[in-house]
Structure 1
């Protein structure tokens, strides 16, 4: 360390001749530039860039830059930042020139801030400086790569900049030196203003994009400009700090030596008995952090493999239309029963649990197995060994409070990571065995990272040579039967899998159609994920509050509200049960591990499988023995889940179990810190990972937010191309996820409307997926998912290039067979309102059901005089039986081609539109049902005398695509008629 000289001048040691070992203190006092000049230069250049572009834009292109995709002047009267600084000359040039001038002062500002806040033994200042540099680079990215140049990269840079602003703002506030109280005051207010502005800005952006509220974009723009001005103003406060610096050689007050107290230190002293003080007042060690990351990734793989088991098992009853005997594979998770054998338990004690976790690799390698039967067997083996590895790890560390908490945290955060992965990949987990390189899988990457994580687990320094934790000597005897703990764990596993393994599940439960009156999968899936993280932290720090019957009652009310209510009310109930389930998770697992592991966790997984099958029976009642007894009783499933969780809570209360094993619970305390410094530091790593995952979730929500600027394929001819397709739950004939192949065919067919049937995948055996998210975003279409997963149907969905003005969901009469869903939507097609119906009828065996359903839907369609299109699955022969109810004066509907005798399931009907074309496209190996397509012209009267005409007489933009002629592409070709049919 350089010696001090006089009043705090920094002194350097330089060699002094003639002896090279003799050093003389020299004061470094060269040319001096006041530090605040850097801050002022940065502020002036930044404000000049934004305000200069704004003034030029308002002067030269006012009406153009206030116009958006929905409204123009005078409805919208103030431009957004992006429209101001974007593509028009000269405002774009004004902005880029001044923002380039900002870069030099910006890097100097980051460097000076680092010098001012660094101190020995702490890396916080380096972290903040690194974030500052990254933030500066991403600013250059979204500045010089506009949305017109490359929309995706512009968004990547923008969201990275916004995300980096959070740690930069908080870091600067925490490290503020105490030389100016005004500095901290200004930073608190500006930071608060920055974060507070984000909420209304997002609200009005959604009002503009989704609801098309006139003038909402102007209000959004005002908040956006406020955010920019506050952001620059926050960095301008550094001028107060830099008054103590002279560039760069002299520190006139000595603040950069790191021996003075920072705002962070004072704050943490006041918060030492609260969660934030316990987490962040610790030393950071990279090795331990990497251990935590490895553990979380192993937890992620556990959830990835176990959630894939039902999905690959579902393939077989799907094709058998009933039980197939392969369902027995669901029981693969009961392997912990083996721990009831003393010799095997001792083997687990002596073996590294990582060996069993490594055997779970089979679940990841299963994608290499071509045969569906053997792929299921491979996944089953992965689940069998993975569950053994999980329980073995918990049992091995049961007496080490810090280690056991780490195992539980990694398992719980692994679920959150799995949900985020599905959020990023449109509800498919990229390492599932139904994924591969062709349909968007990241299987090889997942395997490589898993091997690295297991390697890290093996290289970790063991705490004990022996395994005394497996034979505790001074453990308090457990109270109550182990069965209660088993029931609690089984209910917990089911609740986490059923409700929280996908961020869109509880959102789809509450969806009721257009106009939007509740949450959307994007962006509100990030809200669900954030609530999961908050719940886990509540369970760790406030176990005495979480394990109370009051908390259980709140969770039960939330479950009831989710089950019985729709829209925002139902979703808020879903958030309540989400918060409760993730909060109680560490407590129930900590309690269960006190009991013998074989019977406790073996029975727990068996109970989990029982209620899993129960949740399937409520919708599959027509295909399983005893199904009618639980027909459509999702409320019974939820009640059973809560009762099981209640059993676990009762057992935890009996044993005084909190979230930290080995720590005695005091009923008079609410906050429980980690038991020792090592545990405190370890817990902080998992909180860091949790925070990083939340930022990732928010970034995904931003990047996935749809533009809602969709256009039909042939607007000049006012053609609607509509299709109906039974997609068989997005699993193709060879057990691969089929969304991408479906998207290709729909795009190549140039469909403006498409009804999807058998589309509800929000069940455990279907992977808790939502195919429509990928299709809607990639095809640029509005989507209505139809009656939700809690309505006990196989699902129907509508995707539309035209705005959906209104939609209602119907559960048609089904006294005997499966429940038949329907959507009635009203679309705005070229300025005219058109009714669109999507419907899936009951099975062939249920004659009375189909009769009542045809009466119901015909009455519904006959009540509207608007032009209409029915996209349906009817199960009948043309011209016979119920056909004459569907095509009748009662409904007003006509068959698109009465001469097509080769139909049984799919039909397209219409009224008050001019029919112009009809085609049938082979399914290839995507599903078991073809795609039927019809073309209609809006604004022209229906011509009942129109007959077939050759394709040569049809205008080019009203023809069907030619690539499906002959042999077609990828197994998709025109069949039955060999060529499309045209009418005139």
Structure 2
């Protein structure tokens, strides 16, 4: 302890220092925060009670208690009083965050630093949702609020973990309050859904109670800092002398961490620390490479760079497949897939040595970013020419990372590989199934390309300036021989790695893919299984659990880089048996049973990532091992595509509808990575450093919570007809060409605009099964369902080997059945048969996609089956929306008369002779209008729309004769409720909306209702 300086009387430096007990800061924070909310509640209830309890569903007396947001953000003066008091709270809150970090920091853990960072973010986001109200900007307000809620997870859980065991009372209280806080979220979400989706009066009042409960628990949790500061007798000193102030001694255990890689630097001993007036800590001396915020920043950078890998890697095939789609065959651009074989060049020793340097890896990072920057190019071919070499660079860079020089390196890289995939899948889940940095999306199609590039450059800067121990690329060969086994068995290591990369890409690149595998439709007005846009978060949580297993089992708490024995549990053949059984259940069964198997597959695949990477890295044959791995990936990819694209590729007939063979092959390849006694795997297992494990667990928790919050944020509103009054329904059919527009970009936004303008209550989409690597594992229904409110039947999934069909309905879907139409020679044709509750009347709707004209027998058999389905539903009203490849009124065996005569249906307008593939048929309803809207840039096929009016409930169509049905009318003779929008009048040169206009007739056709119609 230093002595007080000898200062002469009268000197300014003779003043006594100001000493403040830190517990007063905690108390001030509690009082000010509580006062801010309580004053706003009291003043708001006194001045504007009925206004602040009113919401979009109901008002007083159904709603009688105000929500937090309405209380603090809507009215003067309570809003202003709250903002003043919460501003006063900011000083104590920031001091509280800093003082807690001061008490808890330690060389033994970087967790206190992480808690400190989230505490700051939490404080700043609080200012965001306080001063930007929902009336100012609803989205920004929600973003700050969600950020605040998410930051509470590491703040509370990390704070509990960092509370010393000596302060048992504080730790117990924090645990209890944090548990209550997170438990309150469950009923909060329930009542929010009751209010927002089901629009139940009074539900928002119940929601408000739990919302105020979260505020109470939040403030209460922070209030325990007062007790913590008081028990350790912590003081804050302002002044020239600290000699009379008690010192706080914080012991730090030896720490073995680096900037997230395996090579660690130790910071020994016990340190002492003081809080002084100028903020300096004169006694504690830190090693910058192993303490502070840098390890957390390095971990975040590494995860983001892994996310970039998955983003560029998964964008290649959709970018090249644009040309295959337009050619309906091999176009030549498919050769770009060979860019994934770039690891073959790592067999060149000087090149491998350069890529293992910091400069070499940084160069590969920057080259891979060109794949993201390709979004700025307008021409699809130009984008492909940039994305192809970028993919080669990013694969080569990732291989260098995977081929670590120590077991702990490989384990960490395996976790990074899984985390990058999870972040990519999460970004798609919250962004309408589109990765926001893909080069074939831009600002108009839900892209955040500039943001993604900016974050990428920051991550590379962090990587390049990272203070680390000697770089792993410069490790001596003796280290390699000590930690890893010999190079024998490189082929048996390469094959499972290629299969794993394929499985992760094909099954888990999007959270809804395994849902699409299990989907079969509706029964008794409820989905039979999980719904993609609502239950995708379950897939993400299962993936997080799977990746958590190797993190837990392989965490190395010692200073050694030697592997942990527990990690070998995931290499046992019994674990492979679990994955095999799950794969069988996913393939064989449907609905919730099949999806449960899919969740098992997700857990299994994520858990073996470090194991498979370790087996490949152990060979030390980087060039040949990873070249063969990606060759296996390419072959499995082609095989999976050929199971449905067999009609367009040479030799494809041998893989026609043989997904079972592909699933068997991928599991058999994975089996080589497991510890079979006959294979005599003597290689050391992998391990993960303790700091990396802590960061990984925190991020996995955050991803799980964000997946649920993302689902709630994107929760669709309750479906309601566009014109709910006069029993009108608008129905449309559109072949969407796999969601790739004429410019090679995602078309969801453009589709949503058109169907919203046309007020389509029922719409059938064709060529929609995008849950394949060829199309990016996307979902064409997301934007329409989430923003317009539709019930969705996504039709037969990718394991049904069709190009897909979708039904969107503003009306409840009572039952739906998926059909695979007879296809002995050509491509397999899908159909959806659904019974809808339309204003209390049951109507059968059939959405179908027949085969091509090259297979006349297929078309005939498919048409007969469709006619049987529609005739079997007679006399129930019916609407057919389909792609049938026939000329109007063409004689049999063409499809037209099978559908009309055998199916007991009417053509929407038999005078329209300019049709070939899309048709709308109907019966049991009155047709009032028919329109054809040009394709614009959305696809290669127009949108056809039919407008119908239902007879009065309990009545049928009174006159079904041709003369009664073909009383044509001008628009002005019809009620305005039956008009289609005027904005779509025009032509290719002028008029219309975004290139869409009424064509063929240049106007919608209108029809009068029979005079004796009962409506």
Same fold (TM over 0.5): yes
**Among 540, 547, 553, which residue is 1:529 paired with?**
540
TM superposition shift of 1:686: 5.2
Of the candidates 865, 876, 893, which is equivalent to residue 905 of structure 2?
893
Map 1:212-223 onto structure 2 (within 5 A): none
Question: Does residue 652 of structure 2 align to residue 640 of structure 1?
Answer: no
How far apart, CA to CA, are the structure 2 residues paired with 1:818 and 1:33?
74
Q: Does 1:623 align with 2:648?
A: yes
Displacement after TM superposition at 1:658 (Å): 5.7
Equivalent in the alignment of 2:278:
none
Given that 2:63 and 2:204 are in contact with CA atoms closer than 8 Å, whether structure 1 keeps it comes out as no
Partner of 1:733: 742
* Secondary structure class of the residue paired with 1:871: strand
CA distance in 2, matches of 1:982, 1:883: 23
Please state if 1:903 is matched with 2:915: yes
Matching residue within 594, 597, 603 for 2:628: 603
Distance 1:602 1:703, change over 3 A: same
Give the equivalent residue in structure 2 for 1:420: 426
Any residues of structure 2 matched to 1:767-786 within 5 Å, and which? 767-786=776-795
Contact 2:234 / 2:248 at 8 angstroms: preserved in 1?
A: no
Q: Secondary structure at the match of 2:744?
A: coil
- Aligned residue number for residue 262 of structure 2: none
Query: Is residue 876 from structure 1 mapped to residue 896 from structure 2 by the alignment?
Result: no
Contact 1:13 1:24 in 2 (8 A): no
Which residue does the alignment assign to 2:574? 550
1:153–1:442 Cα change, 3 Å? closer
Change (3 A) 1:442 1:249: closer
Q: CA deviation at 1:786?
A: 1.4
- 1:789 lines up with 2:798 in the alignment: yes
Q: Are residue 761 (structure 1) and residue 773 (structure 2) matched?
A: no
Question: How high is the TM-score relative to the length of structure 2?
Answer: 0.81
Please say which of residues 874-883 and 927-936 is displaced more in the overlay: 874-883
* Match of residue 323 from structure 1: 330
Task: Tell me, yes or no, if structure 1 residue 926 matches structure 2 residue 938.
Answer: yes
Give how far 1:489 is off.
0.7
Shift in CA distance, 439/977, structure 1 to aligned 2, threshold 3 Å: same
Q: Which 5+ residue runs of structure 2 have no aligned equivalent?
A: 239-243, 257-265, 270-288, 554-566, 1009-1015
After TM superposition, the structure 1 stretch with the greater mean CA deviation from structure 2, 686-695 or 574-583, is 686-695
Q: 1:164 to 1:372 in 2, by over 3 A?
A: closer
Task: Please state how far the C-alpha of 1:534 moved relative to its aligned partner.
Answer: 3.2
Could you give the per-residue CA deviations for residues 778-806 of structure 1, whole angstroms, max 9, x where no partner exists? 33433221122222211111223334444
Q: Indicate if the aligned counterparts of 1:418 and 1:429 stay in contact, CA closer than 8 A.
A: yes
Moved more, 33-42 or 211-220: 211-220
Question: Paired residue for 1:385, among 371, 388, 393?
Answer: 393
> Is the CA contact 2:44–2:78 (under 8 Å) kept in the aligned structure 1?
no
Distance 1:936 1:72, change over 3 A: farther
Q: Deviations over 1:225-268 (max 9, x none)?
A: 65455445434555655766899879xxx999542689xx9xx9
Decide whether the 8 Å contact of 1:488 with 1:645 is kept in 2.
Answer: yes
Matches within 5 A, 1:137-156: 138-139=125-126, 142=129, 147=134, 150-156=137-143
Is the partner of 1:183 in helix, strand or coil?
A: helix
Report what 2:855 is aligned to: 846
Is 1:701 matched with 2:711?
Answer: yes
Question: Equivalents in 1 of 2:850, 2:857: separation in Å?
Answer: 11
Alpha carbons 2:568, 2:685 under 8 Å: kept: no
The answer on 1:168 being equivalent to 2:159 is no
CA distance in 1, matches of 2:765, 2:536: 23
Q: Distance in 1 between matches of 2:103 and 2:235?
A: 19
CA gap 1:68/1:602 in 2 versus in 1, 3 angstroms: same
2:654 partner SS = helix
Are the counterparts in 1 of residues 27 and 223 from structure 2 also a CA contact under 8 Å? no
SS in 2 for 1:324: coil
Separation in 2 of the partners of 1:833 and 1:85? 45
CA distance in 2 between counterparts of 1:109 and 1:787 reads: 54
**1:634/1:790 contact within 8 Å kept:** yes
Which stretch shows the higher mean deviation, 601-610 or 380-389?
A: 380-389
CA contact (8 A) 1:80 1:225 kept: no
Unpaired runs of 5+ in structure 1? Answer: 4-11, 269-277, 661-671
Q: Deviations 1:725-768 (Å, cap 9, x if unpaired)?
A: 00100112232222222222223333232211001111011111
Deviates more, 1:585-594 or 1:735-744: 735-744
Deviation at 1:130, TM superposition (A): 6.2
> CA 1:312–1:114 in 2, change beyond 3 Å: closer, same or farther?
closer
Residue 183 of structure 2, aligned match among 196, 206, 210 = 196
Return the TM-score normalized by structure 1: 0.84
1:399 aligned residue: 405
How far the C-alpha of 1:15 sits from its partner, in A, is 5.3
The DSSP-based 3-state class of the residue aligned with 1:836 is strand
Contact 1:717 1:958 in 2 (8 A): no
Cα displacement (A) at 1:873: 1.0
| Residue 430 (1) aligns with residue 436 (2) | yes
Aligned to 1:303: 310
Q: How many residues align?
A: 933
> Residue 929 of structure 2 aligns with which residue?
917
CA RMSD after TM alignment: 4.3
Matches within 5 A, 1:171-182: 171-176=158-163, 181-182=168-169
